[in-house]
A and B are shown apart, each in its own frame.
Chain A
Amino acid sequence: MDALFSQLFAGLSLGSVLLLAALGLALTFGQMGVINMAHGEFIMAGAYTAFVLQAFIPDAGVSLLVALPVGFVVGGLLGLLLEVTLISRMYRRPLDTLLVTFGVALVLQQLARDVFGAPNVDVRAPAWLSGAVPFLGMNLPKTRLFILGLAIACVVVLSLVLKLTSLGRRIRATVQNRDLAETSGVSTRATDRLTFFVGSGIAGIAGVALTLLGSIGPTLGTNYIVDAFLVVVVGGIGQLKGAVIAAFSLGLLQATFEYSTTASLAKVLLFVVIVAFLQVRPQGLVSVRTRSLA
């Protein structure tokens, strides 16, 4: 029983990391259809933001809490820059977008190597996140609980923004029917930029969170980009709740496979399951049903 709960928590914890990495992508890829291979590097930028800030803010706890919004802004600004300079010229050309953003990813990795050096660096975790919380005979690491909470908070805030705010309505309208949004008085270009800013900003937050799990390096983002795309595709394009369900399902599956096999084999099995799933349900977990196509 203990092993079951412990695996369940490991799965949830892995799912929350996947969710944080994929949530921004659910906006930029899921909602806007932009294949941004540099999304992982925005995660990396968020992580290095936390690293830089700890040099200025001695208290690790304060530094972490400051790094979250600053990481959001850094990731967001990088995304905005990419959108304005390159991606905006390539809407409806997915292959070109993929290649160009892959190039940008390599440039950003090298930039990080030049600025911070090739070896991995550590970001101190605050004292209040060290140790574990005993629960049903298990010890749940506080950092993992923090990331779980952060992922849930990000989903809730993003859902509320999409559902209740004027910006959210503009984003959803633009995604559904760009021409109709324009002729409803919405500047779809401005909306694209804002959407990209928010999506990339969430990647920055994910990067800050990842500093709690281990040392960080220039290739941090590459470890997450494939998984993040998998989460969005399995979840169903354009649906936030699909990404949430997919992230936790994949996390639980991977944890279960890892428990019964090895880490590498678990990954293989996970891919097999995803390929089989997409054969049966190519539209992903959650699809959109309406009476009209518009």
Chain B
Amino acid sequence: MLELRGVHVGYGRTAVVHGVDVEVPDGAVVAVMGHNGAGKTTLLRAAVGLLPVRSGKVLLGGEDVTRWRPHQRVRAGLAYVPQGQQSFGQLTARENLQLVADVAGSAGARRLDEALDLFPALRELLGRRAGLLSGGQRQQLAIARALITGPRLIVLDEPTEGIQPSVVAEIEDAIVQLAGAGGLSVLLVEQHVGFALAASSRYYVLESGRVTADGVGGAEQEGDVRAAMAI
């Protein structure tokens, strides 16, 4: 589904990601783990097109999308939920979702309804400005927005970071449900190693912009991964 091949990314003169290979097969959940500053978010931003790749390739469904702009990748089925529960703060929750539904065309309205079925709590909050929602509600809104684009692959950057525990469980359930429902691949960056491994079929550990360990996912790998991350 998504392949990053020998990807180098950086900011200005600083190189952050050095020749990383990551593959997300169709329908798989792949976790990328690592300490703060390991280059996880930089890698994801390059995958979705927000940062230019200096060398290497990004392939989506076998097609080279390295030079595509982010909105073109979204329309090709690559959805992105960035770090930090980002939303359009001055737009209402409904407008946040409608914005994406507009772009999605005729399927938009149906997908909007499906996304609200996944996060029923949002239905009560549609008229409220997104900037006034709690962190957990904004994260649900962000995931709902990503789903309305009709993705084949969803890229999630620390979806449970800084969110109250009761909502974390809801978000984790939603991710498992989406991946299990068939077809949707997930590329997940997550600090919560236990959940990330339990949900994923493959994992990568990133350190100083390089893959230092990778393997098959599953909760039983937690010991190995923690050792690789030297937690």
Contact = CB atoms under 8 A, between A and B. Distances in A.
B133 interface: yes
B132 A186 contact: no
A185 interface: yes
B132 to A, nearest CB: 5
Contacts of A288: 90
B84 A294 contact: yes
Interface string A167-196: 001101100110111111111110000000
A171 to B, nearest CB: 10
B145 interface: yes
B69 A290 contact: no
A183 B74 contact: yes
A193 to B, nearest CB: 14
B74 A290 contact: no
Contacts of A187: 69, 71
A293 to B, nearest CB: 7
A290 B133 CA distance: 9
A292 B91 CA distance: 12
A176 B145 CA distance: 16
Contacts, number: 91
A177 B69 CA distance: 16
Contacts of A185: 71, 74-75, 100, 103-104, 149
Given A182-B50, A183-B50, A184-B74, A292 B98 contact: no
Given A183-B80, A185-B103, A176 B71 contact: no
B89 A176 contact: yes
A184 B91 contact: no
15 contacts: A166-B99, A173-B99, A177-B86, A180-B86, A182-B74, A183-B50, A183-B71, A184-B99, A184-B100, A185-B74, A185-B75, A185-B149, A290-B129, A291-B89, A294-B86
Closest 10 CB pairs of A and B: A290-B131, A290-B89, A182-B70, A185-B103, A185-B74, A166-B102, A183-B80, A294-B86, A169-B99, A187-B71
Given A166-B102, A177-B86, A183-B50, 7 more contacts: A179-B70, A183-B79, A183-B80, A184-B71, A185-B103, A186-B71, A291-B133
